[in-house]
Structures are given as structure tokens and as C-alpha cells.
Amino acid sequence: MGSDGKYNAAKLALELVKDGMVLGIGSGSTVEIFLNLLGKRLKKEEMEIYGVPTSYQSHFAAIRNGIKIVDLLEHSEPDLCIDGADQIDSKMNCIKGGGGAMTKEKIVACASKKVVIIVDESKLVEKLSMPVPVEVLPFAYGYVSKKLKELGAAEIRLRHGSGKVGAVITDNGNLIVDCDFGVIPDKNVERCEMEINSIPGIVENGIFPKKIIDDVLVGKS
Ligand code: 5RP
């Protein structure tokens, strides 16, 4: 069910892409489906698409699909950012970072003229409630953990991966902690995002308040 929904959301997003556009390219499996569909379209139609990827995963997938890689130095304002999400509440606030790429994802989303999130129905929730992914400078891990607890996190889990022993290291060389703040009501979302980021040693967190997001495309199975 999930992957049909992801495919349908990706297909809707494909209609937004026009020749010559610079895309902000998020990360995750839904974005990868989108890139594969875009690649097929690029083979059929004579068009050029440029992309600013937000992870090694989307960088490699973009290259495989014929998208020309550019960066924010050259194109500081991508035309359209397409990204996935892990949870979206009824007001369009998101939690991202299931794939650990939220830092570059947030930079590229904020830089882009328009941000469209593509998800299947399983990501829709009334209120945000999953643990918030937080990218942390390794040097600061002990201090940051203490401060996150003081901020109200009931549990803080250092993310471990598969295919490697020990902690997940992000594309930026940092750690990820998943912080359980329980249910985050809409009115607290922006404050929660800012308070987490105000702790020295935290690089970014996975809360994407609704003000960053223009549209959400939900693919049904
Ligand atoms: C990566 C992300 C992804 O967009 C999010 O995890 C959704 O992934 P998927 O499309 O595989 O469900 O935020 O950091």
C-alpha cells in the first residue's frame, strides 16, 4: 500500500516540473521514486533539469536519472523543492529526518521558491508525535543530551544504523539523536523547533513548520 501511495504522490509532483527548472531534491524512498519517473520523462522529452540534492542518496539517484547537479552557490533559489516527510499534521507541519538528511533538506527547502511535500497516506496524523530527529556535532553530544532532557525530551536515543557498527554518521559527519517530546500541538511547533536549535552543538532538527511548506501531495494507494 505504502509504495503505491508513494508512486502516486511522486507522479503528481512530476506534473509540476517544467523544462529548465532548478529543483531542490529532498531525500528518501518517495523522492527516489519521483527521480526515477523524472528520469523516464527526460529520456522521452527534450528538456533539461538541474538539481540541488540533499544527500548522497538523492545525489546518486539524480545523476542516474540524467539530472544535472548544481549547488546553492550557483543557484541560491531553486524553483521548486520536492521532498518527502515522516509525519504531517493537519496544519501541514512536518517531521522529517527518518533518513537522517534533515539538515540539508531544511536548507534547500528554505532556499527554494516553492516547497512541495510528497507522501502516502500513512504519513498523515492529527498532531506530530514521533521522536524528533536532531543532528548533533559529536563533540557536543553529552552536553546536548542533557539540554534536550531539560527542554522536556522524555527519551533521547542515539541513532544506530545497519551495515555498520555503532552510531549513524550523517552525510555531514555528525550524530543523530531521536528525541521523544510526545505530542507536539500545532501552536507549539515553531517554538519547539527554535528551542531545540538554540542549544549550542545542535546543527538542525527535523521539525519543518508549516511556514516552510507550500503544498502537500498525498498519494492514495
Ligand atoms: C529523510 C527524510 C525523508 O523525506 C523521510 O524520511 C521520508 O522518507 P520516505 O519517502 O522513504 O518515506 O526526511 O531525511
Q: 103-159: per-residue pLDDT in tens? A: 999 999 999 999 999 999 999 999 999 999 999 999 999 999 999 999 999 999 999
CATH of 132-205, one of 3.40.30.10, 3.40.220.10, 3.30.70.260, 3.40.50.1820: 3.30.70.260
Distance (Å, rounded) from C-alpha 23 to C-alpha 80?
A: 5
User: Which residues of the chain form CATH 3.30.70.260?
Assistant: 132-205
- Name residue 170's amino acid: T
User: What sign does the CA torsion over 36, 125, 88, 211 have?
Assistant: positive
From 3, 30, 107, 217, give the residue whose CB has the most ligand 1 atoms within 8 Å, as the site to mutate: 30
- Name residue 10's amino acid: A
Residue with cell 538528511: 101
Dihedral in degrees, nearest 10, Cα atoms 72, 17, 216, 5: -120
Tell if the pTM clears 0.85, that is, is over it: yes
Closest atom of ligand 1 relative to the 100 alpha carbon: 14
Domain 2-125+210-219 falls under CATH 3.40.50.1360: yes
